[in-house]
Structure 1
Amino acid sequence: MFTQWFELNKQDPKARNLTYAKIPKEYIWNNDAKEWAPRKLRPSIGRIVYSNPAFGERYYLRMLLNIVKGPRSFEELRTVDGAQLRDLFVTMLLFYNITNPLKLWEQHWEDLADDILHKKRKIINFPDLTLTDSQIKNYCLVEIQGVLHKHEKSLSDFPSLPQPDESLLTQLDNRLIREELNYNIKEMKNLHDNLFRSLNTEQLALYERLIKAVTNQEGGLYFLYGPGGTGKTFLYNTILTKLRSEEMIALAVASSGIASLLLPGGRTAHSRFVIPLELMENSTCGIKQKTHLAALMHEARLIIWDEAPMTQRYAFEVLDKTLRDILGSKNEANRQKLFGGTPLKYWIKL
């Protein structure tokens, strides 16, 4: 019956869309002719005899028969795109006496996580997404945890194995956050070091004051005034590369589209904060609680706003009101802080 299934798949394209267990639904076994024939009466339910993982090759053959459709030979049967290695890893944890699960994980985590980056790029529709090894490992552990839960088990049942940090998932699945973190850390550090060495005394004092405010989460409003050519752009590039090299989120916005193009990773303020075009005293930004944009506001450590005087004062008032509301949802004290406690730095060009 098994080998004649290969012959059936060679001759009948319809059979090639079925796994071995599904064949009896559409075909019947003719014991005299030793062949499969199309079923004419009511369908039948097929099943494959249970095989314990300890049976080795027979068990893995059974796994393949539940996945592969229409093979015409043993070679086609054993060739599977995207083999379920994480399921196999869980099977080994559950049914084999693995003496050193951690060593097994460390030796094969790259194979187990081979499709993680591709899946995440597809899920969040971000083809240029990059993930660090630690992030990929975390996602892989979460996937393994999900398979274990189906068996009413958990990674905590295997103390030697690393545990997934599920608090990272909201950030990793949030495209807006990923875009703001999608910088080459090594390049950012090198660029920052080069810029930092060229700061003059006044720029260095401003740099240290603002970095301290961000590091200590002091919040506050800072206003930098100076004519063109005094090094404002140079300074905020230094600040941005410093924070981004340490995987912090710093939002760079401007009052006009042209000015935003001059900022690394810049956006217009109206676009980033969903500020209404027709501003009134009681207006609010269109940022809703528990959205990806709201999560981005929670993660932002600094906002740099270029050409601030070109914007109506209501824009800053609605942003202040919105950030107090959003950031205050997790920490009530933020409702009393300017811009919810996020350091905001105004920049102007003359």
Structure 2
Amino acid sequence: MGTKKTKTWEPRKQRGCIGRIVYSHPASGERYYLRMLLNVVKGPRSFEELRTLDGTVQNTFKDTYFAYGLINDDKEWAEEISWEALSDDILHKKRIQLRYPDMILTEAQIQNYCLVEIQMLLNKNGKALSDFPDLPQPDPSLISHLDNRLIREELNYNIQELKAIHDSLYSSLNPDQLKVYESIIGAVNAQVGGLFFVYGPGGTGKTFLYKTILTKLRSGRMIVLAVASSGIASLLLPDGRTAHIRFVIPLELLENSTCGIKQNTHLAELLHEVKLLILDEAPMTQRYAFEVFDKTL
């Protein structure tokens, strides 16, 4: 090393350096904060001691770094970035992508798709949301449900309109209908299951009761399947189907028949999410149809 006066080289003076702390990029997370703390905390004998400040053990090296006041928390910046601003075009894009112009998404679903978009951008740059523990992670179950056309159709209702219809129907229930209504809704909400047989001659309000139950549960974003033994009866139910079409029940039924529902299909996933199944005109259905569907379940 040269001096200003003599302009000659002198040997470097040894200062008792034990070793070198390896460089760590700020994006490396906890490893970066560990490295920075090693430059601040004197004589730590363990990782726990390194995370201790004034007798309090911090959860992470990052928390310890903040506790020392060495860096300002960016929480206020995160709060200023609204998720609505990041996801304002999610619904429009999904309607085009899934070819479903009337598609309706909840806030949780929109947030989830927004996280998926962020995940894709990070993946292109060799990163992932899991590299940032402070950020929320996408829910895979919501994604699979949204990509299931049958589940989307069963959740794509105008909630406010259904609530208004339910309130009108509910106020007109007679005591017997109200008793059945409360029993069924209570069983669904408590998730205890059950089998309910509603019996009465034509014109006593069975379909009216079914509509009240359907609007109640669907307005709560629950999946309810309404089927009937015949096409005419299914038309009287909101979004009704025949049991043979909905559950792929063979028209020619034998004792050893089975439903045509395959595992891991959209219809199979739909049945996993059903909270209630309404079968109108059940006594008109052949016995084997019940047995076939029971085996499928």
Please confirm whether the aligned pair reaches a TM-score higher than 0.5, indicating the same fold.
yes
Which among 139, 159, 164 is matched to residue 113 of structure 2? 139
Q: Does 1:204 align with 2:194?
A: no
Shift of 1:98: 10
Q: Which residue identity does 2:125 align to in structure 1?
A: H
**How many angstroms apart in 1 are the aligned matches of 2:234 and 2:133?**
50
Shift of 1:209: 1.1
Which amino acid in the other structure matches residue 174 of structure 1?
Answer: N
Q: Which runs of structure 2 are paired with 1:47-58 in the superposition (5 Å)? A: none
Residue type matched to 1:225 in 2? Y
In the alignment, structure 1 residue 307 sits paired with structure 2 residue 258 = no
1:112 aligns with 2:86: yes
**Pairing 1:250-269 to 2, within 5 Å after superposition:** 250-269=224-243
**Does 2:290 align with 1:316?**
yes
Offset, 1:155:
2.8
User: Equivalent residue for 2:193?
Assistant: 219
Offset at 1:117? 2.2
| Bigger CA radius of gyration | 2
CA shift for structure 1 position 105: 3.2
Does the alignment pair 1:126 with 2:100? Answer: yes
Alignment match of 1:288 (pick from 259, 262, 266): 262
Match of 2:211? 237
- How large is the Cα RMSD of the aligned pairs? 2.1
Once residues 283 and 126 of structure 1 are traced to their aligned partners in structure 2, the CA distance between those partners, rounded to angstroms, is: 35
Letter in 2 for 1:187: E
Matched, 1:270 2:244: yes
Contact 1:129 / 1:182 at 8 angstroms: preserved in 2? yes
Distance 1:225 1:160 in 2: 56
Q: Tell me how far 1:104 sits from its aligned partner.
A: 4.7
- Amino acid of the structure 2 residue aligned with 1:229: G
For normalisation by structure 1, the TM-score amounts to: 0.60
Inter-partner Cα distance in structure 1 for 2:149 and 2:107: 18
Unaligned runs of 5+ in 2: 1-71
Cα deviation digits, residues 37-92 of structure 1 (max 9, x gap): xxxxxxxxxxxxxxxxxxxxxxxxxxxxxxxxxxxxxxxxxxxxxxxxxxxxxxxx
Q: Is the 8 A contact 1:192 1:241 kept in 2?
A: yes
Partners of 1:105 and 1:118 lie apart in 2 by 21
Moved over 6 A (4+): none
Q: How does 1:37-186 map to 2 (within 5 A)?
A: 99=74, 100-106=76-82, 109-186=83-160
**Contact 1:116 1:136 survives alignment (8 Å):** yes
The alpha-carbon deviation at position 134 of structure 1 amounts to 2.8
Q: 1:277 deviation in Å?
A: 1.0
In structure 2, distance between residues paired with 1:317 and 1:119: 43
What is the CA distance between 1:137 and its match in structure 2? 1.8
State how far apart, in whole Å, the 2-side matches of 1:98 and 1:290 are.
45
Q: Distance in 1 between matches of 2:187 and 2:273?
A: 15
- Identity within the alignment, %: 71
- Secondary structure of 2:257 counterpart: coil
Alignment partner of 1:246 is 2:220: yes
**What TM-score, normalized by structure 2, do the two folds share?**
0.70
How many corresponding residue pairs? 225
> What is the Cα deviation at residue 168 of structure 1?
1.0
